[in-house]
A = this chain, B = another copy of it.
Amino acid sequence: MNTVHTGGTPDVLLQLLSPAGVRLADADLDPWVAEMTGNDLAALYRDMVVVRRIDAEATALQRQGELGLWPPLLGQEAAQIGSGRALRADDFVFSSYRENAVAWCRGVAPTDILRVWRGTAQSGWDPLVHRMATPSIIIGAQTLHATGWAMGARFDGADSVAVAYFGDGATSEGDVNEALVFAASFQAPVVFFCQNNHWAISEPVGLQARAGIAGRAPGFGIPSLRIDGNDILAVMAATRLALNRARTGGGPTFIEAVTYRMGPHTTADDPTRYRPAAELEEWAKKDPILRLGRLLDSLGLLTPELEAETQAVADATAAELRAGCIGLPDPEPLTVLANVYATPHTGIDRQRAEYAAYLASFEPTGGKDS
């Protein structure tokens, strides 16, 4: 297997699909997408269009004051859908805040993704139900959680795999490096999936990783792959390859998906302060959706029906999202003091009783304004 780099800095960028939509051959990756049908490709296309639409709608909702903040994934659809769709239901995802398309793949309702950003909950979904952890805002922390989960899977003799998603900036944090150490030591079935979107807020990737991101892992004893993250076929193939290594006792794999954050860091960010406009233009040419569209087109699959159907799903999802978002109920006041502990706790119980009494003292005039 030549594409798995066990040493040195891999500078090859693995691709199965050129920006022009031409299918390229790669002996190592090809087998992992060999059985894909036209329908499969169309499904991936639909996924990408829909999550881009979710992203646009959420951005609009933020601009309209319905969300506090939104971290767009614009440009990273292939990296997220390609990997997310490669997972098995019993695998477990540990992600950062930007993996909204992965959540989509894990069956999370779009409205639930918004809860955190509307501020009605700190976890939009039950992590055990969707087998996707609450996204980590502390950069890199989740890579250790993924590694621990994978250690447990190995102890249990299970063939489920943990997948840790994180950004290029995250690779500088101690936690991510400690995760690589532990994963290597315990040969934990974990896939480290790094989306190198070239920026950590205003900082270019070169500040974080002088030798290239994929070059880091082999020094820890973890093979790595550097793939075109805007090429959904390469992403899917590489993820399947890595998952399979993990399932069959091969231990951890590190994937660098080279992609680009086409939007701001979040809706609060203004990238014109630090990012050359030309760079964005360059990457627009490598758009992941256009690219798969071109392949579909060349295969005669980009039919008006597919376009229409995709559009309809996107429209419906966006409408559902908007209505769902606006309809999200505000949490009950006293839930502020709920669930701090799993078992009764004299300290919190007292504060809860006191606050309930305090709120009740406003009752005659209609309750505390909140």
**Chain A interface residues toward B at CB < 8 A:** 7-9, 171-175, 177-178, 181, 184-185, 207-211, 215-222
**Smallest CB–CB gap between A250 and chain B, Å?**
13
Q: CA–CA, A7 to B7, complex, Å?
A: 7
Q: Are B221 and A8 in contact (CB under 8 A)?
A: no
Contact of A7 among B184, B215, B217 (CB under 8 A): B215
Contact of A215 among B172, B181, B209, B218 (CB under 8 A): B218
**Smallest CB–CB gap between A168 and chain B, Å?**
12
Which secondary structure characterizes the binding site on chain A?
helix
**Smallest CB–CB gap between A68 and chain B, Å?**
31
**Smallest CB–CB gap between A178 and chain B, Å?**
5
A184-B211 CB under 8 A given contacts A9-B219, A216-B219: yes
A174-B175 CB under 8 A given contacts A9-B219, A215-B219, A218-B8: yes
**Smallest CB–CB gap between A203 and chain B, Å?**
10
Q: CA–CA, A218 to B184, complex, Å?
A: 17
Q: Are B210 and A184 in contact (CB under 8 A)?
A: yes
Q: CA–CA, A184 to B175, complex, Å?
A: 18
Copies of this chain:
2
Q: Which residue of B lies closest to A10 (CB)?
A: B7
Contact of A174 among B174, B185, B215 (CB under 8 A): B174
Q: Which residue of B lies closest to A140 (CB)?
A: B174
Contact of A210 among B171, B185, B208, B209 (CB under 8 A): B185
Max count, chain B CB within 10 A of own CB: residue among A7, A207, A209: A7
Contact of A220 among B7, B207, B210 (CB under 8 A): B210
> B residues within 8 A CB of A209?
181, 220-221
Q: CA–CA, A219 to B10, complex, Å?
A: 10
**Smallest CB–CB gap between A272 and chain B, Å?**
24
> B residues within 8 A CB of A178?
172-174, 177
- Known A172-B181, A209-B221; 5 more pairs at CB < 8 Å: A9-B219, A177-B177, A184-B211, A211-B221, A211-B222
A218-B185 CB under 8 A given contacts A174-B177, A175-B174, A177-B178: no
Contact of A218 among B9, B208, B221 (CB under 8 A): B9
Q: Which residue of B lies closest to A187 (CB)?
A: B210
Q: Are A211 and B219 in contact (CB under 8 A)?
A: yes
> B residues within 8 A CB of A218?
8-9, 211, 215, 219
> B residues within 8 A CB of A215?
7, 218-219, 221
Max count, chain B CB within 10 A of own CB: residue among A172, A184, A219, A221: A219
Contact of A216 among B207, B208, B210, B220 (CB under 8 A): B220
Could you show 6 A-B contacts with beta carbons less than 8 Å apart? Answer: A7-B7, A172-B181, A211-B221, A215-B218, A215-B221, A217-B219
3 closest A-B pairs by beta carbon, nearest first, are A174-B174, A210-B221, A211-B221
> B residues within 8 A CB of A217?
219
> B residues within 8 A CB of A208?
181, 185
